Structure 1
Amino acid sequence: MGQTRLMEVGLLALFVSAFISATLLPGGSEALLAWMVHQGEYPVAQLIASATLGNVLGSLVTFGMGALLRLRYPLKTLDKPQHQRAKRWIEQYGAVALIMAWLPIVGDPLCFVAGWLGVRVSLSIVCIALGKLLRYLVVAGLFM
């Protein structure tokens, strides 16, 4: 396998790890990013872009799940404690609260509840991407 092909596979693995980490499934994209940055075999900007894109798209899947649930159950309440907390944050701060979508435990519910509450998608994408990018910049910076 050539060097270029190996790089593509590595970036894809990071993308998939970040995508899975941002859905309701557990994952560890930060650890993989840290290891890949420390190895020094990839341009750091490409690593950050791959992780950020995968993580944002994963969050948008969770956002979309909330939006779809709203169509099916528009009058139901969210009963899980993390969903209640996320609902309070979204109601208080709107899409800006999604900057915190990178946080463990509350990040996924924030995206889900934002979709369920019908928060504007375009601003949600910007806020989610900003938070995710900042997190990956910090992780990469710590391991350079």
Structure 2
Amino acid sequence: MSTDDTYLLLAETTTGKILKYWIKTAKASTMEEVVQLSGFPDNIKWSPRGGFWVGLHAKRGKIAEWSISYPWLRRLILKLPIHHIQRVSTLLNQVGRQIIALRLSEDGKTMEAISVHGAVQKAFKSVSEVKERNGSLFIGSVTSPFLGVYRL
């Protein structure tokens, strides 16, 4: 919720979008796209330094893009045994750097990006929430039994 209570920010995970739902003003009951992200967003928290933080669950690879664009392919992938889907997802997430969190301005411009690679990437996979406090970013995941801390 915005500080002036005029809109609500929503993470649309499957499409990778952050949306703004207007509550007050002449735009009330309408929605607009703030930004299309390169990953799957999950949870939004305001930053004390301005803008907001978005945790990124995973990168959007070609398989995800094709699954969104082609419903028949998505149906085919979902028919595969879950261990095959997890194996492919793990392999794709191990390639290169992974951005796990973004601080965005209210109009969707990137202000700061936190990325990991190598061994650290395994610890910070599937980020579901980030919260900035006292110069640190606290990182949570539904798949990890711990809370990560990243010094800003």
Normalised by the length of structure 2, the TM-score is 0.24
Is the helix fraction higher in 1 or 2?
1
